[in-house]
């Protein structure tokens, strides 16, 4: 849900999944005005609270299809602006194809946000056992909304679809639990699902610092009903976020900047263990009685909600045997499938317009099939883009049934291989200094650039506090599909430590460079991108060592004592091509993407400056104490 914004209204549009159209805004705005009418309703819920919706209905005679039409709805905490029945939006719906096909589009303000009454709660908990009409959640709110719309909006065909990206993806998932029978299709896209585990808030027990502070500067509690603030967005950290967050000191100081006005940020920051605050916000354990056809969508390079799509997909399978349940994942950033072409990210290209393909060939037929009865919308169990080889793959399960677990082991001299170490002794060491943390990108930035997810890691390889292991050039393609599981044997001179593990694709030295105006000593302008030896990040995640045995009850490290630190990264689907190398990097900071570990066992937001200390980190790599990364390898056919 934490999305970089140029204007506040851009955030609102992205959150609703409404930036996905190829047509210029002006032409689409004219199409909306000439083809749709707008109505606004304040719909009473079973507890008496009224929730706001904007409804856009096809004008009589505007489409070849005279109707009746299905509903396609999104619930959002980011506003359904513009408000007023005479005010039409510049964009509408998840894609231009769906807009031009003719649907009754509905945007609903979430409970307690903007024009909806009630009290907003971060990821409102689902109530399994409802005892009265006072027990309301997102499922009941959607049920009551659908009941109202079916009765009060003319020319509807009795079928409802729900979709949304990020926070609206959460509302989509929550709305199909114990769902209204009219809800026939749903597409949770990048859904927030379990914030403590690799979605927005924490990764491996480490707080996602820059993204969260940048988001909550603007996402604040409201007194409702209220209209959106039309002020322009500016980054909170100035031109150099690395310097800003380092100077800020312990993260408690960032909380103090709000002066008690934003409990939403405060709650995220201070709940540093997997306590009841997080457990009751884990939606995946409630995904029961799902009756709609579901297409869950995610991106391999989603910097916000990376694990949510996989947890949602697997939970629906677990609790709803036989349900129509599909996973679609492409080479996209957060919501990238809904806008632009999806043919590249940063320096890495994918050789096709993957986002356009998704909108036209996957999403459009899905809703047309389940909401209008058209042919062609039945999808495979998993429809995923394979990076590296840059091809779409269809599987009857995810991860693929043929994928087998193998471990990439660390060896002497920075070697990496699938062979276990045989040496009787072996350890690599580095000094981690919280005063000089390893940056997460090799350039100055004022935010969390989405491109960091596949950025070049050569800058990190040059640091003395980063361990680097790599294979020999591959003699054949190696495809890795599914979760990535680091398994480390480590020790520290501190009482806590982070271990950031990165899986990297190293390009051959003769890999062709993109066109450039000048190379060599004649470079006078911006530095050219040299792709030979490029170290593309495929997946990287931190693991906070104090959570090695329990997410609820962290324990200190004993200085000098070896322990196992195992973790699980979100899934990948990547082919390391023949001639490339597989690399793994290990480091103990990733700043300011994650907060700094003081390397002293302490509640980190409230650490004192003196508790931030240097520590020597040891990573073992011998027969009795082997470290490596377990991956699922798909056989080459």
pLDDT tens digits for range 431-455: 999 999 999 999 999 999 999 999 9
**What pLDDT, on the 0 to 100 scale, is given for residue 21?**
36
CA angle 67, 68, 72 (to 5 degrees): 100
pLDDT in the model for residue 528 = 87
pLDDT grade for 231, boundaries at 50, 70 and 90: low
pLDDT score for 230: 66
Q: Decide if pLDDT at 5 tops 70.
A: no
d(CA 164, CA 240) in angstroms, rounded, equals 32
Residue 524 banded pLDDT, cuts 50, 70, 90: confident
Would you say residue 493 has pLDDT above 60? yes
Asked whether the beta carbons of 303 and 448 are under 8 A apart, the reply is: yes
- The pLDDT value given to residue 522: 73
User: Residues 336-345: pLDDT tens digits?
Assistant: 999 889 999 9
pLDDT of residue 22: 44
pLDDT at 18 over 70: no
pLDDT score for 578: 98
How many residues comprise the chain?
A: 637
Position 8 confidence tier, pLDDT thresholds 50, 70, 90: very low
Question: Residue 6 pLDDT > 80, yes or no?
Answer: no
Whether residue 630 is predicted with pLDDT greater than 60 in this model: the reply is yes
Which of 141, 109, 137 has the alpha carbon at shortest distance from 124? 137
Count the neighbouring beta carbons within 10 Å of the beta carbon of residue 570: 23
Residue ranges in 259-399 assigned as alpha helix (H): 263-270, 276-279, 308-319, 354-357, 364-372
pLDDT of residue 224: 86
Residue 9 pLDDT grade (very low, low, confident, very high; cuts 50, 70, 90): very low
Those residues whose C-beta lies under 8 Å from the C-beta of residue 390, and which sit 6 or more positions away, are: 331, 349, 350, 351, 352
Structure tokens that stand for 271 in this block: 């709940």
Rounded CA-CA distance 571/569 in Å is 6
Rounded distance between C-alpha atoms, residue 103 and residue 94, angstroms:
11
Flag whether pLDDT at 519 surpasses 70: no
- pLDDT-derived band of residue 7, with 50, 70 and 90 as boundaries? very low
Q: How many CA atoms lie within 13 A of 145 on its CB side?
A: 37
pTM of the full structure:
0.95
Inter-helix orientation angle 167-175/138-152, to 10°:
80
pLDDT band for 298, please (50, 70, 90 cuts).
Answer: very high
CB 194 within 8 A of CB 281: yes
Average pLDDT of the chain? 94
Res 637: pLDDT: 77
pLDDT tens, residue by residue, 32-89: 999 999 999 999 999 999 999 999 999 999 999 999 999 999 999 999 999 999 999 9
Residue 327: what pLDDT?
98
Provide the pLDDT confidence category of residue 398 given band limits of 50, 70 and 90.
very high
- Confidence (pLDDT) at 533: 98
- Give 566's strand partners: 487
pLDDT at 135 > cutoff 50: yes
Mean pLDDT (whole number) for 325-330: 98
Distance of CA 32 to the CA centre of its chain: 30
Instruction: Please tell me the predicted confidence (pLDDT) of residue 23.
Output: 53
> Which pLDDT band, with edges at 50, 70 and 90, does 11 fall under?
very low
Please give the radius of gyration of the chain, using alpha carbons only, rounded to the nearest integer: 25
**% of the chain with per-residue pLDDT over 90:** 90
CB of 451 within 8 A of CB of 336? Answer: no
Predicted local confidence at residue 562, as pLDDT? 98
Judge whether residue 102 has pLDDT over 50. yes
Q: Determine the average pLDDT of the residues in 381-391.
A: 98
| 592-606 pLDDT, tens digit each | 999 999 999 999 999
Residue 12 pLDDT exceeds 60 = no
Q: What is the pLDDT of residues 273-284, one digit of tens each?
A: 999 999 999 999
pLDDT of residue 17: 35
pLDDT (average), residues 239-266: 97
Instruction: Label residue 457 by pLDDT band (50, 70, 90).
Output: very high
Which pLDDT value is given to residue 515? 79
User: Which pLDDT score, from 0 to 100, does residue 372 have?
Assistant: 98
Question: What is d(CA 540, CA 503) in angstroms, rounded to the nearest whole number?
Answer: 6
């Amino acid at each position: 849900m934490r999305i970089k914004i140029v204007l506040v209204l851009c955030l609102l549009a992205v959150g609703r999944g409404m930036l996905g159209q190829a047509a210029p805004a002006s032409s689409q705005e004219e199409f909306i005005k000439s083809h749709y009418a707008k109505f606004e309703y304040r719909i009473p819920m079973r507890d008496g609270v009224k929730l706001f919706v904007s409804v856009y209905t096809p004008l009589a005679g505007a489409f070849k299809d005279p109707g009746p039409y299905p509903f396609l709805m999104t619930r959002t905490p980011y506003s359904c602006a513009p408000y007023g029945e005479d005010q039409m939006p510049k964009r509408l719906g998840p894609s231009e194809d769906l807009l031009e096909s003719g649907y009754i589009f509905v945007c609903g303000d979430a409970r307690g946000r903007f024009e909806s009454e009630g009290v907003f709660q971060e990821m409102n908990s689902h109530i399994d056992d409802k005892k009265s009409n006072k027990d309301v959640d997102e499922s009941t709110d959607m049920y009551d909304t659908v009941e109202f719309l079916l009765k009060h909006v003319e020319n509807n065909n009795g079928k409802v679809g729900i979709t949304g990206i990020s926070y609206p993806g959460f509302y989509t998932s929550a709305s199909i639990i114990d769902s209204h029978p009219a809800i026939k299709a749903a597409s949770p896209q990048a859904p927030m699902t379990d914030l403590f585990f690799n979605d927005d808030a924490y990764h491996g027990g480490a707080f996602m610092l820059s993204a969260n502070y940048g988001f909550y500067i603007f996402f604040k509690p409201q007194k409702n009903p209220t209209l959106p603030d039309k002020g322009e967005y500016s980054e909170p950290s100035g031109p150099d976020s690395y310097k800003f967050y380092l100077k800020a000191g312990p993260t408690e100081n960032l909380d103090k900047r709000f002066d008690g006005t934003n409990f939403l940020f405060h709650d995220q920051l201070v709940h540093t263990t997997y306590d009841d605050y997080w457990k009751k916000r884990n939606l995946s354990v409630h995904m029961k009685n799902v009756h709609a056809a579901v297409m869950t969508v995610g991106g391999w390079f989603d910097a916000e909600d990376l694990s949510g799509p996989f947890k949602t997909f697997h939970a629906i399978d677990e609790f709803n045997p036989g349900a129509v349940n599909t996973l679609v994942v492409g080479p996209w950033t957060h919501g990238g499938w809904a806008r632009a072409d999806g043919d590249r990210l940063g320096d890495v290209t994918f050789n096709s317009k993957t986002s356009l393909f998704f909108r036209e060939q996957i999403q459009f037929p899905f809703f047309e099939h389940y909401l209008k009865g058209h042919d062609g919308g039945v999808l495979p169990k998993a429809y995923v883009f394979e990076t590296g080889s840059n091809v779409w793959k269809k599987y009857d399960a995810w991860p693929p049934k043929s994928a087998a677990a193998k471990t990439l082991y660390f060896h002497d001299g920075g070697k990496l291989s699938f062979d276990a170490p045989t040496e009787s002794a072996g350890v690599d060491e580095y000094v981690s200094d919280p005063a000089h943390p390893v940056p997460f990108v090799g350039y100055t930035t004022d935010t969390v650039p989405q491109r960091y997810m596949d950025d070049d890691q050569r800058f990190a390889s040059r640091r003395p506090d980063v361990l680097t292991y790599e294979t020999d050039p591959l003699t054949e393609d190696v495809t890795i599909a599914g979760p990535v599981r680091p398994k480390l044997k480590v020790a520290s001179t501190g009482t806590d430590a982070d271990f950031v593990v990165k899986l990297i694709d190293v390009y051959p030295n003769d890999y062709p460079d993109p066109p450039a105006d000048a190379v060599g000593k004649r470079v006078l302008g911006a530095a050219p991108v040299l792709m030979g030896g490029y170290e593309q990040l495929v997946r990287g995640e931190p693991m906070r060592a104090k959570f090695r045995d329990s997410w609820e009850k962290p324990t200190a490290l004993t200085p000098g004592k070896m322990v196992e630190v195992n973790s699980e990264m979100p899934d990948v689907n990547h082919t390391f091509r023949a001639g490339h190398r597989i690399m793994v990097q290990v480091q103990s900071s990733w700043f300011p993407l994650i907060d700094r570990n003081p390397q002293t066992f302490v509640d980190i937001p409230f650490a004192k400056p003196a508790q931030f200390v240097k520590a020597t980190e040891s990573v073992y790599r011998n027969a009795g104490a082997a470290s490596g990364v377990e991956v699922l390898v798909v056989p080459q056919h």
